[in-house]
Structure 1
Amino acid sequence: MATKNSADVRAGAGPAWDDLLEQIAHRPKRATERKQDRSKRTEQQILNAALRVFARDGISRSRIADIAAEAGISTSTLYEYYKSKEDLAYDVPLSHLAEFFTTYQASAPSRLSARSRLETYLTMSADYAREHAEWARLLYLEIWPSVFVSDTELRHSIDDFTRVILFLVREGVAEGWVAPNRNAYETVALVIGSVNQLIITWLLYRKPRNLTKASADMADRLIRMLEMEAKASRT
């Protein structure tokens, strides 16, 4: 199959990038489709309560009754919205992920290069985790490493997080700061693993103390490493 040259890739990156962000920021939510006629206020109460309970007790130890009590509603009312604890656990992270993607979408167009867009993406992901620590504990410590989210909308949203980085890594090849002879998926794994571990360490131990600064430094180091590798591949 013929490959595009760098100029072609850069020329087509704008619409393709906009389409990707539009898709992931407005992915249909299973809960919204299922409960169009339900009270959104009550639904949000349940989601907020579930987040607090899951973050405090963990998904496995949490009970529907605990979540209902936290939300100030009866268990029977909660069951009108969610069939099970697992069903609820799928939806809790989704609204925050959608919010993060939307926030990033608003800032990404001002970034001219894939390098700066990736740096912003990694820094914003850590900063969002810092600002939403209960949600981050649920996502990074329980949801992300779990197999129970396979084949769900939540899995698609987690995959979306990776798709953005994969897109930017491939653009980085076109821009010349990512080595073309390296497997793009391995590069993505390196990037995600580094930043996620930084977030996890902060969640568990509150170290580094300044997560925002540490994530910016981490993003810069990762990109510089990729640049050095790209330079070495050309010699």
Structure 2
Amino acid sequence: MARNDIMVARKDNIIDSALQVFAEKGYADATMTDIAKKAGVSTPALYEYFKTKEDLLFAIPEKFMEEPIRILEYVAPYLRGAEAKIRGIVQGYLTVYDTNPLYTSLVMLELKTNRKFLKTKAYGMVRKVSGGILGVIQEGIKDGTFKDNTDAFLIRSMILGTIEHLCIRKLLLGEPRNLPQYTDAIVDTILNSIRKESKHFSINLNINDLVTQKIEATDNAEKKESPESKRKKR
């Protein structure tokens, strides 16, 4: 294995170990020594990769967001229409959180309240995905899928807020056990309020009125008929 590959593998191991330690002890109580021990490296070696515990904290979402973003970018061109794209993004979010409970705990209970996180590369990756949701909603408004007066920012907040609520509930109460199964419920419940309604035209006509109108039209036509036309018919 090349030296660069060894360093990448060691860095990934340190990040994974940090995630486990943060989950076990909490970010505030965890130390770099704890993380080094978990990763099987010396504390000085750990500092060669990460200068502070906070740097290590912010490296975790950066690692975990790379793969979902790659998958989303690969799948997106095959999803037709705004609704299908939103459904795909929501399912992606729920799948990542469902299959990585330690990461979910870190995001929901630590990173969401850390203002410094907003200035990191990892947060830029998070914004890329959330910005994608906003863009798709705006696309749906433009192509007529959603109502013209739809507040794209509000709808995005409703989607992400619902996902976060389900994740926190699972972390604290253990339910729901399967997050991805809520994809359709989340998308349909929220989008039902902004789908553009079909235009319905009234066809409730009184049949008696139609008959009367037909008779009157026939009578009027006969009255207007010229004498010459009547002679030809005879």
TM-score (norm 2): 0.77
User: Contact between 2:23 and 2:105, CA under 8 Å: does it hold in 1?
Assistant: yes
User: Contact between 1:126 and 1:211, CA under 8 Å: does it hold in 2?
Assistant: yes
1:42-92 CA-to-partner distances (Å, cap 9, x unmatched) read 111111101111122222221111100100111110011111000111111
Aligned residues: 197
User: Contact between 1:144 and 1:158, CA under 8 Å: does it hold in 2?
Assistant: no
User: Contact between 2:98 and 2:178, CA under 8 Å: does it hold in 1?
Assistant: no
Per the alignment, residue 210 of structure 2 pairs with none
Structure 1 position 210 matched with structure 2 position 172: no
2:115 to 147, 152, 169: 147
State how 1:1-235 maps to structure 2 within 5 Å.
Answer: 39-227=7-195, 230-231=196-197
Question: Matched residues in 2 for 1:56 and 1:74: separation?
Answer: 20
The share of aligned pairs that are identical, in percent, is 26
RMSD in angstroms over aligned alpha carbons? 2.2
Which letter does structure 1 place at the counterpart of 2:50? Y
Question: Matched residues in 2 for 1:140 and 1:122: separation?
Answer: 17
Question: Matched residues in 1 for 2:130 and 2:22: separation?
Answer: 24
Task: Please list every run of 5 or more consecutive structure 1 residues that lacks an aligned counterpart in the other structure.
Answer: 1-35
Moved more, 36-45 or 178-187: 36-45
Which letter does structure 1 place at the counterpart of 2:165? Q
Which letter does structure 2 place at the counterpart of 1:116? A
User: Contact between 1:198 and 1:215, CA under 8 Å: does it hold in 2?
Assistant: no
Which letter does structure 2 place at the counterpart of 1:41? A
Task: Please list every run of 5 or more consecutive structure 2 residues that lacks an aligned counterpart in the other structure.
Answer: 199-234
Question: Matched residues in 1 for 2:145 and 2:174: separation?
Answer: 33
Q: Which has the higher contact order (CA 8 A, sep 6+)?
A: 1
Deviation at 1:126, TM superposition (A): 0.4
Question: Matched residues in 2 for 1:164 and 1:144: separation?
Answer: 20
Question: Matched residues in 2 for 1:207 and 1:176: separation?
Answer: 37
- Give the secondary structure class of the aligned counterpart of 2:192: helix
Which letter does structure 1 place at the counterpart of 2:76? A
- Give the secondary structure class of the aligned counterpart of 1:112: coil
Question: Matched residues in 2 for 1:56 and 1:216: separation?
Answer: 33
TM-score (norm 1): 0.77
Deviation at 1:218, TM superposition (A): 1.5
Deviation at 1:38, TM superposition (A): 7.7
Question: Matched residues in 2 for 1:60 and 1:180: separation?
Answer: 47
Question: Matched residues in 1 for 2:178 and 2:190: separation?
Answer: 18
